[in-house]
Amino acid sequence: MNFIIGMVVAFGSILGGFAAMGGHLAVMWQPWEFVIIGGAALGTFIIANPIYTIMDTGKAMLEAILDKAPKEREHLDMLAVLHMLMRELRLNGRSGVETHVDNPAESSIFTSFPKILNNASLTSFTCDYTRLIIIGNAKPHEIEALMDEELQTLHRDKTKPYHALNGVAESLPALGIVAAVLGVIKAMGALDQSPELLGALIGAALVGTFAGILLSYGVLTPLATKIKMVREKQIRSYIIVKQTLLAFMAGAMPQIALEYGRKTIPSKERPSIEQVENDPPPETKQAA
């Protein structure tokens, strides 16, 4: 919602200010200038990125516009899953947890929290490291090093759309100049025409420069920044898992281990201790 409001404010101010100065908005409608700029930007984007990144960028743009970052409810669900896994491990040992991590799709723990289960990557991350814990041979510092390596890889993968879109944004002012130069070339071919026609052609050419700069700094750059922010918030869920499981491996009780994970959540989104302790179990929620 913030993204849409921001775009309305930005474009409303620019176009409204132009109209208030006596400018004619119809002059700004130069579809072939936009075709040149947009087509060149899309082509360079396709050249520079593999198909996976192209598809993921589209997904990341939608996530940014809709602000698909984890909210307090998702954090509470993640902490609840971890608490149930740790409690099961303390009460029933390896056999009690093994069925949950080997087949989370049929686990009573994971199926109670569909938002967590639907995040295949996060579920796999949680199950993989819980499985390493129940094996019993790995030391906490070895698990931590492995987690850090995976988190670095995950961060690189998650932020590829940011870098890809940022690269396009940086190229747009230059592509706008390309469109403007082509417009000037067209205008130069009409020097024998009336001043009114020549002026319209030059004005149309300058729209290319305007559009390239506006799309770069007014649309794609803030959208890329929003993508980075949303994706980094998504990675925060993995850090919650990491800190909680490491604390549990070090000997902390499940409730204390949850505090290690809870403290990694940014203060504006962090549920309180009371919320974590009083969050009703899944069966109670469903009954309600």
Q: Do residues 74 and 237 lie in contact, with contact meaning Cβ atoms separated by under 8 Å?
A: yes
CA distance 194 to 30: 20
10: left (phi over 0), alpha (psi -120 to 50) or beta: alpha
Angle between helices 221-249 and 72-102 (to 10 degrees): 50
Q: Is the pLDDT of residue 3 over 90?
A: no
Q: Kindly report which listed range (91-95, 169-173, 224-228, 247-251) carries the lowest average pLDDT score.
A: 91-95
pLDDT single digits (tens) 69-128: 998 899 999 999 999 999 988 888 888 888 899 999 999 999 999 999 999 999 999 999
Q: Bigger pLDDT: 277 or 215? A: 215
Q: Give the three-class secondary structure for 21.
A: coil
Q: Which two tokens stand for residue 152?
A: 């670095």
Q: Give yes or no for residue 275 having a pLDDT over 90.
A: no
CA 182 to chain CA mean position, Å: 36
Q: Does the structure show a pLDDT above 80 at 198?
A: no
Structure tokens at 234: 């998504």
pLDDT at 40: 93
pLDDT reading at 279 higher than 70: yes
Does the pLDDT value for residue 174 go beyond 80? yes
**Looking at the predicted structure, is the pLDDT value of residue 286 above 60?**
no
Q: For 214, list phi and psi in degrees, rounded to 5.
A: -65, -45
pLDDT mean across residues, the chain:
88
Q: How many CA atoms lie within 13 A of 129 on its CB side?
A: 31
Q: Which residues touch 131 (CB under 8 Å, ≥6 apart)?
A: 98, 101, 102
Instruction: Decide if pLDDT at 67 tops 70.
Output: yes
Q: List CB contacts of 144: < 8 A, sequence separation 6 or more.
A: 242, 246
CB-based contact 77:115 (threshold 8 Å): yes
Residue 115 CA to residue 154 CA, distance in Å, equals 19
- What pLDDT does residue 284 have? 42
Task: Spell out the SS3 assignment of 110-166.
Answer: HHHCHHHHHCHHHHHHHHHHHHHHHHCCCCHHHHHHHHHHHHHHHHHHHCHHHHHHH
pLDDT digits (tens, 9 = 90+) for 9-60: 998 998 889 888 888 888 888 888 889 999 999 999 999 999 999 999 999 9
- In this prediction, residue 231 carries a pLDDT of 95
Q: What is the pLDDT of residue 226?
A: 94
Residue 287: predicted pLDDT: 39
Could you give the percent of the chain with pLDDT greater than 90?
A: 56
pLDDT at 217 over 60: yes
Residue 172 has pLDDT above 90, yes or no: yes
- pLDDT, residue 280, reads 62
Which of the four pLDDT bands, split at 50, 70 and 90, describes residue 267? confident
Q: What is the pLDDT of residue 194?
A: 79
Task: Tell me what pLDDT residue 202 has.
Answer: 83
* CB 261, CB 79: distance < 8 Å: yes
